Structure formats: C-alpha cells, structure tokens
Amino acid sequence: MRVRIDEKDFINYPFLKESQNFVSGYAGSPERFLLTSTGKAALAHAKDRILSSIAGKSGLKAADRAAIPTDSQGIKVIVSGYALARVIISCMKDRMIIDRFSRSEAQNAYECLIDEEPGKKVFVATSLGIDIDADVVPLVSYVELSAGMREERWRLVNRDIERGMVKVKKNETDEILRESIRVTISRNLPLPIPLGICEVLAPVVKEISEAEQQHLLEQFGSVEESSFPPCMQALILALSAGTNISHPGRFALTAFLHNIGMNSSDIIGLYCRAPDFDLSRTMYQVQHISGRGGTEYTAPSCAAMRTTAVCVKKDQLCERVSHPLSYYKQKKRNDKKKFTAQSGNMLVDRNAGGAHGEKEACNGENIRDSRGHQQGEHNQENNKKNQS
Ligand code: SF4
C-alpha cells in the first residue's frame, strides 16, 4: 500500500505536488497573500531561504530542524515561503541564484530523506519518477540528472549502458534522488511572473541582490589573473595575441570574468585586443551576459567547456574541480597561502596601462557596466568592501 504524507512532511518536501496544492488551498493571489500576517512571515522566510542558499548553507542541521514550528500556522509560513522564494528568484532571473537555490533545497530534502521512513522515501522518489530499487536509469533521465553532477564517475563515458538504460550502483541511489529533486526544483525556473508582482517584491529583490554581490566579493575577492584556470588564461592569451576567439570561448570568458566580479568596462577593455573588435557589438554582448537583459549568466562547467573545445591545457588542479570558478577559488586560496605578499594582477593593473589603458585607447568613452557603475566606480566599491 502506498504511504500517504501529511502536512508536516510538506516542510521537508515543499516541491511535491501535494505541498503546492496545500499552498494553493489557502494563499490565493500573491498580492493579497503578501498583505496577510502569514504572507508577511512567509516573505521573511522566503528571503532567509534564498540568503542561506547564496551563503552556501545547504542542509538543515538537526538543531535547526528541531526549531521548525510544526503547528498549522508554522507549516503554512514555511511551505508558502518556499513558493514565494521561487517567485522572488524568478523576478531576479539570475542563473547563479537559481542554481544555488535549487542545490540548497535539494540538499535539505536529501538530508531529510536519508533518515526518512522507507514508505515515505518511496513516496517522494515515485513522485519524482525515480524507482529507488532499480539498478538502472533510463538514458534520457540520466543525461538530465548527471548534467549537474560534478564528479567524473557520473560522466556518461564512465558508465555502462545497455539498451538505453544506464547502470547505477545501489549506493548511488540517494545521490540520484537528490539530483532528481534539484532538477525538479529548477526545471521551470525562472517562472513567468507578472510585472506587478515583481514590483511588489522589488525591495526584497534589491536586498538579495546586494547580499549576493557582497557574498561574491567576499568569495572571490580582488581579481587575480594568476589564479585563472588554464582555459581562461589560454583565451586571454589568444586575445592578447590578436586572435579571434570562438563564440563559446567569448561567452565562457565573459561570463567567468563577470562571475568573479570584474566590471563590464574592464571586460570590454580586454576585447579591445581582438582584431575584429567592434565597441558597440562587444558592449552589447558583454552587458547582455552580465545581466542587463534581465538574465545573468554563469560560466559553463568543465564538462560544457569540453564539448565546445575550450577546455585546454588542463593541469593537476583541473582533475579536482568540475567548474572553472571552483578552480579559480581553489587556486586563489592555494596562492594566498604560498604568496601572501604577492599578487600577479596584470589584467587590471590600474597604475600601469593593461586593460584600462587599452580600453581608453580603444574608445576613450565612459562605459557603464550592467549595474550602472561607471568605469572605476565598481573597483573603488570592490576595494572598499574588501577592506571592510
Ligand atoms: S578542466 Fe575545467 S578549469 Fe581546467 S582547463 Fe578545463 S574547463 Fe578549464
């Protein structure tokens, strides 16, 4: 007999259809709901939920779980907070936030499922289309699930495939379940949210954007070219040598530089070195990737870089990462330990030409980045934040 889940389970598995039906049953329109006391509490919870995911706090500790209210009102606040969080990140249209949120939520649910009674675990898995007793996954599902998995063992080339089914080990089922939750949560994001609702949520969106920016600066600190992964170094070298780089290469480099906190004007300055440089086209492309069009892009993973032939000159550290941003973070940490007093920053050397000097030679204009900063303002801001 199939086990039923109750309202308390919606706290742990708010992505289930049953949880969403539960919210629809009492919330009504988002505008009205936000005016109620439950709606206000849910909005605060939604904000905390997104901020936790940005800060990389995935998973609820046992102590936190014990503090979760399980009365009817508490359940409504938490489950509708999850739904509101999806609305907020849809208004933000920021791929990085969507990815972090989905991963964090999947991790929360995964930690609950590990200790869950078997019947409920099967219920959740079945709702997601996963047979937890099977030792194979259909190829199409596997490709979608493994796209977000970073370890080499999940790559299709390292798997046995038979008649359209991919073999998985018994001890990998929980991870597959977690990925399935992540895919389910992120599948329809960003949702098409009416402008009026996004306007109501604008103050929260602003607060979260600022927190994200701060986290980014704390996480990556100042831009250090010496810590760039080999693929990005190679793309910059190609540009410096006056070579035209492929579209995937441009996209990867621009998104990477934007993700580590370089402003649009500095990125555009870099492209001045390309033989086919066209200021207005480059400005459009860089600002589009940086989020002016409403969607901020994240640099492609190593797996995606391989498929577009821009993963080159792999080194030892590459074997331990699955994303150029992880490489950068790790290398920076290692370099900091080794050379505390040294900083190899030839890209954005503000005193000695480099990107700025060349950019001015390119256009002599003031370029504003996607957040509306003028050249230099962003860097001053970064420096202030880094110092504080
Ligand atoms: S493995 Fe990743 S980080 Fe290393 S060169 Fe390839 S894409 Fe870049």
Q: Model confidence at 293, in pLDDT bands (50, 70, 90)?
A: low
> How far, in Å, CA of 245 to CA of 75, rounded?
53
Over range 185-207, report the average pLDDT.
92
pLDDT of residue 2: 63
Beta bridge partners of 138: 165
* pLDDT tens digit sequence for 299-339: 999 999 998 889 999 999 999 999 999 999 999 888 777 65
- Asked if the model's pLDDT at residue 376 lies above 70, the reply is no
Alpha carbon separation from 345 to 99, 224, 277, 313, 348 (Å, rounded): 30, 5, 23, 21, 6
Atom of ligand 1 nearest to the CA of 232: 8
- What CA–CA distance (Å, rounded) separates 25 from 28? 7
- 47 pLDDT higher than 70: yes
How much is the pLDDT for 67? 63
Distance CA 383, CA 210 (A): 16
Task: Identify which of 256, 302, 325 to mutate to test ligand 1's pocket (most ligand atoms within 8 A of the CB).
Answer: 302
pLDDT in tens, 15-40: 999 999 998 888 788 888 999 999 99
pLDDT at position 295: 67
Between 124 and 287, the more confident residue is: 124
Ligand 1 center–CA 157 separation, angstroms: 18
Neighbours of 5 (CB within 10 A): 18
The model's pLDDT over 65-97, given as tens digits with 9 standing for 90+, comes to 556 666 788 899 999 999 999 999 999 988 778
Atom of ligand 1 nearest to the CA of 327: 3
**Is 324 near ligand 1, meaning CB less than 6 Å away?**
yes
Nearest CA owner, ligand 1 atom 3: 324
Q: What is the pLDDT of residues 236-279, one digit of tens each?
A: 888 887 777 888 999 999 999 988 888 787 888 888 877 777 77
Domain-wise residue ranges, the chain: 7-209, 221-387
pLDDT at 386 over 50: no
- At residue 29, the pLDDT reads 84
User: How many angstroms does the Cα of residue 123 sit away from the middle of ligand 1?
Assistant: 39
Q: Is 231 in the pocket of ligand 1 (CB under 6 A)?
A: yes
- Mutation probe of ligand 1 site: the residue of 233, 235, 236, 305 with most atoms within 8 A of C-beta: 305
pLDDT (tens digit per residue) in 155-178:
888 899 999 999 999 888 888 898
Taking the centre of ligand 1 as the mean of its atom positions, its distance from the CA of residue 261, in whole angstroms, is: 19
pLDDT of residue 68: 66
pLDDT of amino acid 58: 57
Over 90: is that where the pLDDT of 345 sits? no
Q: Is the CB of 299 under 6 A from ligand 1?
A: no
Which residues does residue 165 pair with via DSSP β-bridges, in sequence order? 138, 162
Residue 153 has pLDDT above 90, yes or no: no
The burial of 157, by beta-carbon neighbours within 10 Å (0-12 exposed, 13-18 middle, 19 or more buried), is given as: exposed
CA 52 – CA 47 distance, rounded (Å): 9
Assess whether the C-beta atom of 54 lies below 6 angstroms from ligand 1: no
Tell me the CA–centroid distance for residue 253 and ligand 1, in Å: 12
Q: Distance between CA 32 and CA 168 in Å, rounded? A: 47
Cβ of 303 below 6 Å from ligand 1 = no
How far apart are the C-alpha atoms of 210 and 85, rounded to whole Å? 16
Distance of CA 182 to the CA centre of its chain: 12
Residue nearest to atom 6 of ligand 1 (CA): 311
Most confident of 140-149, 191-200, 281-290, 347-356: 191-200
> Structure tokens of 71?
């009365």
Average pLDDT, the chain: 80
Q: Which residues contact 167 (CB under 8 A, 6 or more apart)?
A: 135, 136, 159, 160, 161
Query: Is residue 305 lining ligand 1, measured as CB closer than 6 Å?
Result: yes
Distance CA 152, CA 155 (A): 5
Element (H, E) at 78: helix 72-92
DSSP 8-state assignment for residue 162: E
What does the pLDDT read at residue 66? 56
pLDDT at 13: 93
Does ligand 1 lie within 6 Å of residue 148's CB atom? no
CA dist list (Å): 11 to 103, 109, 132, 388: 17, 9, 22, 37
Q: How far apart are CA 63 and CA 110, in angstroms?
A: 17
Provide the percentage of residues in the chain whose pLDDT is more than 70: 79
pLDDT at 226: 87
pLDDT at 378 over 70: no
Distance CA 295, CA 90 (A): 10
Closest alpha carbon to 181 in 297, 116, 101, 84? 101
Q: What is the pLDDT of residue 269?
A: 82
User: For the chain, where are the E strands, in sequence order?
Assistant: 136-138, 161-162, 165-167
Q: Is the pLDDT of residue 181 over 70?
A: yes
Alpha carbon separation from 109 to 61, 130, 174, 177, 267 (Å, rounded): 12, 15, 11, 10, 39
Distance, in Å, from the CA atom of 301 to the CA atom of 327, rounded to the nearest integer, reads: 11
Question: 106-123: per-residue pLDDT in tens?
Answer: 988 988 888 888 889 999
Q: What is the pTM of this model?
A: 0.63
Provide the pLDDT confidence category of residue 384 given band limits of 50, 70 and 90: very low
For residues 120 and 370, the model is more confident at 120
* H-state helical runs in 159-201: 173-187, 195-200
